[in-house]
Amino acid sequence: MKIPALLLLLLPLLLAPACHGPEARPARPPERTAQLQVIPLRFAEAGPTAASLKSLLRDVRIVADVRTNSLIVSYEDAEALRQVEQAVAKLDIEVR
Q: CATH number, domain at 74?
A: 3.30.1370.120
Q: Block means of pLDDT (10 residues each) for the chain, length 96 residues? A: 60 59 63 90 97 93 98 95 96 93
The answer to the question of residue 8 being in a domain is no
Question: H/E element holding 54?
Answer: helix 46-56
What is the domain count for the chain? 1
**Residue 40, in any domain of the structure:** yes
Angstrom distance (rounded) from CA 94 to CA 57: 23
Do the domain assignments include residue 29? Answer: no
Closest CA to 66 of 96, 45, 42: 45
Q: What pLDDT is stored for residue 7 in this prediction? A: 56
In a domain, 14, yes or no: no
| Amino acid 17: pLDDT | 56
Q: Which residues of 54-84 are buried (b: 16+ CB within 10 A; e: fewer)?
A: eeebeebebebbeeebbbbbebeeeebbebb
Q: What is the pTM (predicted TM-score) of this model?
A: 0.66
Q: Which domain holds residue 81?
A: 35-91
